[in-house]
Each structure stands twice: as structure tokens, then as C-alpha cells.
Structure 1
Amino acid sequence: MKKQLFALAAGSMFSCAAFSQSNVTLYGIIDEGVNYNSNAGGERLYNLSSGVLNGSRWGLRGREDLGGGLAAIFTLESGFDVNSGRMGQGGLLFGRQAYVGLTSPYGTVTLGRQYDLVVDNLGQFEVGDQWGGYMAAHPSDLDNFNNTNRVNNQVKYTNKTIAGFTFGGAYSLGGVAGNVSRNQIWSLGANYANGPLLAGVGYLNVRNPNVSFYGNGGSPAATTGGVPGSNLGASPVISGYASAHTLQVIGADGAYTFGAATFGFTYSNTKFMSLGDRTSGPVPAGGIAGTATFNIAEANFKYQITPALVAGVAYVYTHNGGASGHGSAIYNQGSAGLDYFLSKRTDVYTVATFQEARGTDSTGRTAVASINQLTPSTSNRQVAVRLGIRHKF
């Protein structure tokens, strides 16, 4: 009798093992280097910084096969600063990504803190997501192509690729009782891959972006007198638009590879709409209203000189149509870079970016150069150079 019970128990264990197979992967990136900024608030600056080409991170990724093509999946990903050891994304434990979901032959559904569909479908075409890093990204990453902002409380669906087409939709619940639309975020996207041709489109709509999008990290600005503080950062390219009721991004990208050369382009139309909403954020002195519309076009080129060496150049044109008498601004930006792979997991790279500004910025002042995530210049020009090393594990 005991032998029969033992055999039954063992058979059940092997049956479960055959039915449900799982794996968990530990992975990460360490990116560190030396930077030069020609004008950081009026002074030259040399410093070490972490996570320029790719954000330094570690993560866990898991999958459990449930049978019939169905599988449970999860990702937990934490950013960190190599120089100080601090956690990134405002000190959030898993500030880069944290989600769980199910995948099947009909597509994938995930829930948690995730990328929006503009990032998923358009980010890969921007030079900042390739060889340029965040220094070569669009000013203030205002269209989020470089994935500065994640989305909390998001439900996302993406299909299984069909004849080269992938599409999806995502919705983030605002979580405000009695007001379904407040803080809500939704996005749509699609891309197409056919041999040397890649293309993508995306749409992002964010209500109360100062709070729901820019303020969803670990350290949002405090609310004073019922008005949320600004979470848009120090860059005058967008810092005056914290009172926008809605942020809208429409984008289209493409790339074509010919031999060792790849030509790419990106375009986005980004709007900070219904400015002056004090429930969303602070209003600049003198007031602001209407809509500020940015049109951003990028052309980039990448060449695989050898299997181990990549070179690239890019140009980004950004035009802000202005809002409510604030005038308009134009930002011209050029970047160049080299990336040399010492192995499959380790490379050394250098990136140089130049930006020139003119017109009137979001604060109503004379526009100054402001390369993404760097201290803004006090003049209309700024140069940044990076020499770094990246290791993947």
C-alpha cells in the first residue's frame, strides 16, 4: 500500500513538471563614463555619470508554461546609479518596469508599471535608443521616444506578429474616485518589419501629465494650496507647461538597411494642451493658456564599419509653436558617435552632441540650449561629449 502511495505521489510530481515548466533570468546593464558639458549653468563641467547609452539596471524576467500555448510572464527591473549606488527613478525599487501577465497564441496581456506604446513602437528608431544615448535624444525627451517616463497602473495588450505586423493598445487607470478620466493614460501603436524595411506609428494621450506622467516616480513635487508642484524638471524647453490638462503625442518612424548602412527618420507632433489648469500644476507668473505644439523631425545614419565598430550621425529639428503670447522657439541639434565592441557583452563608446536654440522658450524667456538631462546652458549653444563603457550581463 505504501509503495502504491509513493508511486502515485511521484507520478503526480512528474506530471506537474511535464505540464508546467518555468524559468527565471537575472540580467542587467552597467553603463559608466566621463562627460564634458561646455556650459552647465554658465560653467564648464567635467563629471562621471551612470547610464547614458543605456540606463544602468538589474532585473528578473520569468516565464511559466501553462500548457496549450499559454504562459505566465513577469518582469521586475530596477535602475541604479553606479557612482553613488542609489536606486534610480526617484528611489523606486523596481522603477524601470514591474509587471505580470499572460501570453498566448492570441497575444500578450500585462499589468503593472510598463512602457507606453509610443516607446514600444517608435523608440527603437530614435538615435537616443541606438548609439547616441540620452544626450542625443530629443530636447527634454518631450515625446518620450527615449523612455524618460513610465506608466503606472497600466493594462497592455500586444498581438502576436502577423505577416510582419505588430500592434497593441494600453490603458492606465487614474485611480481617482468619482473622476474616471483624471490622471488616465492611454496609447496605441503598431510597427511593421519586412527584411531591410522597418516602420512604426504611435499615439499617446495623458491627462494631467504633470502628476500622472512626470510625477509618477518616487519623489513627486509637493502640493501647495491644492496646486501640485512642477515635476517637469529644470529644462526650459518644457518646464513652463506643468499646468497642461492633456499631453498628446503622435509619431511615425522608419528605417531602411542597405548593406552595412542604415538610414532612419522619426517625426512627432507633441502638444501640451489646455494650459493654465491649476489642478494639474503651477501656472507661470503672468499666466498661460492655449496649446503649445512641438514638431520634431530627426534624420539619422548608422554604418557598420566592421563587425565590432559602429559609427553614426544624427540631426534633430525641434520647433515649438509657443502658447499664449510666449512666442516660439527652434532647437537645432546634431550628434555623432562611435561604438566599439570588445566582446558580445562589453563595449566602449563616445558620443558628442551640439545644440543651438533661438526664440522664446516655455518660460517666456529667451531660449537657451538645453541638451536632454543635462544642466541647461546660459547661452543659446551647448556642447556635450561622453566617453563611456557598457557591460551587459
Structure 2
Amino acid sequence: MKRWALGLPLACTCLLAHGQSSVTLYGVIDAGLQYANNVQTAVPGGRPRGASQFALTDGNSTGLSGSRWGLRGVEDLGGGLKAVFVLENGFNINNGTLGQGGAEFGRQSYVGISSPYGTAVAGRMYDPYVDFVQPFGANAVFAGFPGSHPDDFDNLNNSGRINNAIKFTTAKFGGVSAGVMYSLGGVAGNVTQNQIWGLGVGYEGSGLRLGAGYLNARDPNVSFYGNTPNKGGATANNIGSFGSAMSPQSNPVFAGYASAKTLQLAALAAAYTVSSTTVGFVLTDTRFENLGSSSGPNPVGYSGNAEFISAEVNASVRVTPWWLVGAAFDYTRRNSVNDDGGARYLQIDLGTIYSLSKRTDLYAVLVAQHATGIDSLHQSAVANISGFGPSSTDKQLGARIGIRHKF
């Protein structure tokens, strides 16, 4: 009888614990038809050549959301503690291939512990700079990847995740939350090589939202841009390409700065909502420091620092509970590097989202960009709307209509 008396509560406890654990399958599928008035096809004789383009693409490149599926798990450990994990795969709906350079769980893969005070996780993840600032940009609200800043040079659209990382994010206290992250470089004998660390803080209350974030990446060509299976080592340019007579350039806005020893990203953001209208502002500062270090190739021979300052103002209106429209203007300026005079980028975003249900919506995005000055490839700056590929001229117009389903 004593054995039954002891065993029955233990069995009930095990059943209860099992009942308080869960694993959720979730995902997003985003497909759309895009048009660009000019996209590079090759660079014969060092002069970009381009043509207009129609294409069916996944949201990973030019949509509102990259297609994905994932598993999210929670286990109640008692005492307010929970074990949590996320395994999230990115893929391309138009051809079925893996996203994020071929990584099986390239979007996120982490495990950790949550408590009433916050959550600590370890693995591959978003950094606090993205967590606390990205939601304020036009790209997160209505414009998707094309609405991020030129080439997504400031990572506001989360083009780069962080490997080998540990992150702690607090719960909200009085509307305030914060996060801190550290990524270990894992290099024997050098603690700081390839390390990444970041901070973020946010506030939300009475229609006002505020956010700030900072990220510091040592040897970014390897640690930040070279963190997917299709990227090479320190001797390869993991940021972009100078192109050739047979291939186009990629990321000309900042591809020339692969030799930076340190990448610093800092941002401030704010948004205020009145009734059905939200007005937002995002200011970012991106610095490629100590150009010419051993972090990556430096064919142009840059030295010193390259700094981008970008300011965005956006507004969105919920015309009805199921129809959203938005517009944004972004101005980006880069300083002069090796007396090249710097570069300027002007961009206008227009977007609309119409919800057919809680899970399915139709959308349209239109983006126009104009570039002036000299870009990082030491050529007359070409426009480059994120996801569309660089133009062969200083102007580019991109448009997309698509459908997005969440499950």
C-alpha cells in the first residue's frame, strides 16, 4: 500500500509535467512576382551592364517574410522555470532549395531556459540590435526586404544571424526590456578574434515605442558575413563580389570593405501610434573600422574607416482592420574613404498589405532608389535595392506583388 501511495502521486506528477510541455510546428510561405527596371547582368571591361527583369521569387529575397518552417518547444520545469528551444529552417518556395547559404536551420537554432525575469539561450540567433530596432523600420511594417536600406548594409533586415552565441533577454518591467549577447570566436590563443557582442533596450507604453541597439563584430568578413555553409574563409570576400565579364556585382554599397578589422552597428528608433496611424523614425550608424587589416581581401587598397549614416522616416495607416498602407523615405550618406568623396543614397518605399484572413494576405511593394558619388567598389555609385541585385546605373525601380501564408 505504501508503494502505491508513493507511486500514484509520482505518476500523476509525470503526467502533469508531460501535459505542460509542448512542441509547435509553425511557418511562413511567401511567394511573389517581381519587376526591376535595371539589374546587372555582367561587368565587361569594368563597366556594369544591365537589363530589366521579371522573376518569381521567394520572400527570402524580395518579399515581406522569408519562407520558413520551424519547431518551437517549451517544457515546464517548475518554480517558474521553463526549458525552451527553436529550430527554424529557411527555404525558397520557388525552387525548394535551402536558404541562408544552405544551412538546415539557418534562420535560428537555439536552446535555453526562461524565467519570470528573462530568457537565456545558446546557439544561432538574432542579435539584440535586430531584436530591439528592426520592428521600427518600413521593411518590418509594410515594405519587406526591398524596403530595407541600400544593400541592407546596416543589417536592419537581419541578413546576418549570429553563430556560437549566448543571449539573455529580460522580461518587460514597466514597459522596459533589454538584451545582451556574446558570440565566442573559438580561436585557440586569441579570445577576441571573430568575437561578436551586442546590446539592446526597448520601451513600450501609451502609444509610444522606443528602441536602441548596438553590435560589435571583430573580423566581420569571417565572423559576421562568413557564417553560412556557402561562405569561404578569411581569404575570400564573404561580403560581396566585384563581378566579372560574365557575372554581375553583389553588394556594391559595402562589398569593398571586407578587410575591416571591426564592424560596429548602432541604431536609435521611435514610433508613435495615434488611432490607426503610426509614424516611425530610425537612425543607424554603420562603421567598417581599420580597413586594410587581415580580416579579408582589400583589392582597392582602402585604409581608415568607412562610416554610413542613415535616417528613415516612415508612416503607416490601417485603413480598415484588414488593410494597411505605408510610405517611407530614407537618406544614407557615407564618408569619404581614401579621398573618394563618399556616396549618397535616396530611397522611397510604398507598400500595402490586404489580409484575406488571420493567416493569409496579399501585398504590393514599390521602391525607387537613386545613388550618387563613388561606391565601395571604387566606381560611380550604382543603385541597389535590397534583394533585387545592383543596377548598372545610378537609378533603380523595383516592384513586387505577392501572397503570404502563415501557419
Q: Same fold (TM over 0.5)?
A: yes
1:93-172 matched pairs, under 5 angstroms: 93-172=104-183
Q: State the one-letter code of the partner of 2:28.
A: I
2:321 aligned to which of 298, 303, 307: 307
Q: Please say if 1:30 is aligned against 2:29.
A: yes
Residue of structure 2 equivalent to 1:50: 58
Q: State the one-letter code of the partner of 2:13.
A: S
CA positional deviation for 1:24: 0.6
Distance, in Å, in 1 between the alignment partners of 2:34 and 2:171 is 41
Distance, in Å, in 2 between the alignment partners of 1:19 and 1:128 is 41
Q: Please say if 1:264 is aligned against 2:280.
A: yes
Residue of structure 1 equivalent to 2:244: none
CA positional deviation for 1:19: 4.5
Residue of structure 1 equivalent to 2:297: 282
Distance, in Å, in 1 between the alignment partners of 2:332 and 2:11 is 61
Distance, in Å, in 1 between the alignment partners of 2:320 and 2:135 is 22
Q: State the one-letter code of the partner of 2:289.
A: M
Deviations 1:108-149 (A, max 9, x none): 111000101110000000111121010110112111111110
1:80 aligned to which of 91, 96, 104: 91
Give the secondary-structure state (helix, strand or coil) at the position aligned to 2:143: coil
CA positional deviation for 1:18: 2.9
Asked if the contact 1:284–1:363 (Cα under 8 Å) also holds between the matched residues in 2, the reply is no
Q: Please say if 1:228 is aligned against 2:227.
A: no
1:253 aligned to which of 262, 269, 292: 269
CA positional deviation for 1:275: 0.4
Asked if the contact 1:250–1:269 (Cα under 8 Å) also holds between the matched residues in 2, the reply is yes
Distance, in Å, in 2 between the alignment partners of 1:284 and 1:322 is 17
Residue of structure 2 equivalent to 1:39: 38
Give the secondary-structure state (helix, strand or coil) at the position aligned to 1:83: coil
CA positional deviation for 1:6: 5.9
Residue of structure 1 equivalent to 2:245: none
2:349 aligned to which of 307, 326, 335: 335
How many residues are aligned here? 385
Q: Please say if 1:352 is aligned against 2:366.
A: yes
Task: Name whichever of 140-149 and 250-259 sits farther off.
Answer: 140-149
Distance, in Å, in 1 between the alignment partners of 2:4 and 2:29 is 49
1:312-331 matched pairs, under 5 angstroms: 312-331=326-345
Distance, in Å, in 1 between the alignment partners of 2:177 and 2:235 is 38
Distance, in Å, in 2 between the alignment partners of 1:392 and 1:7 is 48
Q: State the one-letter code of the partner of 2:178.
A: F
Give the secondary-structure state (helix, strand or coil) at the position aligned to 1:131: helix
Asked if the contact 1:294–1:320 (Cα under 8 Å) also holds between the matched residues in 2, the reply is yes
Q: Please say if 1:198 is aligned against 2:212.
A: no
Asked if the contact 1:322–1:362 (Cα under 8 Å) also holds between the matched residues in 2, the reply is no
Give the secondary-structure state (helix, strand or coil) at the position aligned to 1:247: strand
TM-score (norm 1): 0.96
Deviations 1:131-187 (A, max 9, x none): 101011011211111111000011101111110000111000001000100100000
Residue of structure 2 equivalent to 1:11: 9
**RMSD of aligned Cα (Å):** 1.2
Give the secondary-structure state (helix, strand or coil) at the position aligned to 1:268: strand
Unaligned runs of 5+ in 1: none
1:292 aligned to which of 291, 303, 306: 306
Q: State the one-letter code of the partner of 1:384.
A: G
Distance, in Å, in 1 between the alignment partners of 2:57 and 2:4 is 59
Residue of structure 2 equivalent to 1:188: 199
CA positional deviation for 1:370: 0.7
Distance, in Å, in 2 between the alignment partners of 1:192 and 1:332 is 29
Give the secondary-structure state (helix, strand or coil) at the position aligned to 1:34: strand
Distance, in Å, in 2 between the alignment partners of 1:250 and 1:149 is 15
CA positional deviation for 1:5: 5.0
> % of aligned pairs identical?
48
Task: Name whichever of 318-327 and 377-386 sits farther off.
Answer: 318-327
Unaligned runs of 5+ in 2: 41-49, 241-249
Give the secondary-structure state (helix, strand or coil) at the position aligned to 1:130: helix
